[in-house]
Amino acid sequence: MKKNLNFLMMFGLCLLTACSTPNNGSSSSEVTVPLLKDVYANYFPIGAALTENKISLYEDLLPNFNSITQEYEAKWSITEPLEGQFDFSSSDPMVEYAKENGKGVRGHTLVWYKSLPRYVLSDNPSKEKLISRIENHVEGVINHFKDDVYVWDVVNEALRDYPSLAQVESGDFYRTGDETNDATGGDLFAICGIDYIESAFKEAYRVRQENNYNFKLFYNDYGLNYPNKREALLKMLDQFALDGTPIEGVGLQAHYYLGSFNIDEFENTIRSIVERGLDVQITELDVSIYPYSTYPITYDEIPESLSKIQASMYGQIMGIARKYSHPENDAYGKVTGVTMWGVADDITWLDNNPVSGRKNWPLLFDEFHEPKQAFWSFIDLDKYGE
């Protein structure tokens, strides 16, 4: 009840005025729209992923968010394109923008198989050489950003996409070159095994502790609601615990689709992580109205029936996130953040993907930057309660 009263107070005090016209942008009635970050002030930060050139485009909507994720600017191929030669000219302006506007920065990401510059693997490095490159990169990036980043996705997408039960049981669930079609992908594991993951975390921890920085260390991946991949994740986390690898949380990428989302599996994943004493952040949230396939379904605008389903999904997701944001048992982890992968429907990574020429509407604000039904479900603390 206290949280609901707080919400009502914020609803009255911390408002911006907008037209409630999600479909066509024409003004029909004036409504007051609370800022997302204010609604969730008692829970966790609400973030958005964007690039520097989108800051001016979304000047009207960015006050909703008190956290940002750089889509590309902090990845290895951008920050250290040549070995030992760091370049933060792309990332620094976004960090400065965040600091000037009171927003935290999620660091994404230190080690990811898709963002490796060619030099990392092109000379067929030994295990020792490759781990040294990983450690040098981690140290260089962290010492540049220092405390300007509040959490790092230390390693991204190290697990197979859809491991079989046999692979999970045998431990053969790490991403390898046969899954990537990328000359640089997967070879990290082929050369180093799990040591490349653990070395990245241990180096990030060492640099943090020696310099008294204050950020969290996360592993980030997608598809973690699928039982086999969730079990693979849990086995990896248990191995980390045995080896003393200092992981503090897991990021759920959360690219979901109408018709393929199971709220019970979503909760099972969060529960199984927080019960291990680790935090959870939903790091790349969007809800596509299409199944992820090339089946040629195409709409000129989002149908009302699908808009309602999408809104309900967002409400259920946030209800679970709130439920696990204040655990009664201090030994448990908790949900500590939710980040949208984008800001509004005018520009999203799902436009033309995977079907060329197909528009998608996966976010909380429409093409005209007006709140959708999904927005109102996202903030409905009563209907989608804890």
How confident is the model at residue 70, as a pLDDT? Answer: 97
**Is 284 a residue of the active site?**
yes
Mean pLDDT of 336-363: 95
Query: Does 23 fall in a domain?
Result: no
Is 217 within the bounds of a domain?
yes
Q: Is the pLDDT of residue 1 over 70?
A: no
Residue 27 lies in a domain: no
Q: Tell me how many domains the chain contains.
A: 1
Q: Is residue 256 part of a domain?
A: yes
Q: Determine whether 210 is an active site residue.
A: no
Catalytic residue among 71, 73, 80, 157: 157
pLDDT in tens, 234-277: 999 999 999 999 999 999 999 999 988 999 999 999 999 999 99
Count the alpha carbons within 13 Å of 1 in the hemisphere toward its beta carbon. Answer: 0
Distance in angstroms between the alpha carbons of the first and the last residue of the chain: 11
Which tens digit of pLDDT belongs to each residue from 44-62? Answer: 999 999 999 999 999 999 9
Kindly report the pTM of this predicted structure.
0.90
CATH number, domain of 188, equals: 3.20.20.80
Average pLDDT over residues 314-333: 92
At 356 the pLDDT is 87
Which residues have a Cβ under 8 Å from the Cβ of 100 and sit 6 or more positions away?
none
- Domain assignment of residue 379, yes or no: no
Is residue 320's pLDDT more than 50?
Answer: yes
Q: Which residues of 334-355 are buried (b: 16+ CB within 10 A; e: fewer)?
A: bbbbbbbbbbbbbebebbeeeb
Q: Which residues of 234-256 are buried (b: 16+ CB within 10 A; e: fewer)?
A: bebbeebeeeebebbbbbbbbbb
CB 248 within 8 A of CB 280: no
Asked if residue 16 is part of any domain, the answer here is no
> Which one is catalytic: 80, 203, 267, 284?
284
Q: How confident is the model at residue 18 (pLDDT cuts 50, 70, 90)?
A: very low
DSSP state of 5: H
Mean pLDDT computed over 140-158: 98
Q: Which domain holds residue 180?
A: 43-306+340-362
Residue range 209-230: average pLDDT?
Answer: 98
Residues with Cβ within 8 Å of residue 11, at least 6 apart in sequence: 32, 34, 39
Instruction: Flag whether 274 is in a domain.
Output: yes
Residue 349 lies in a domain: yes
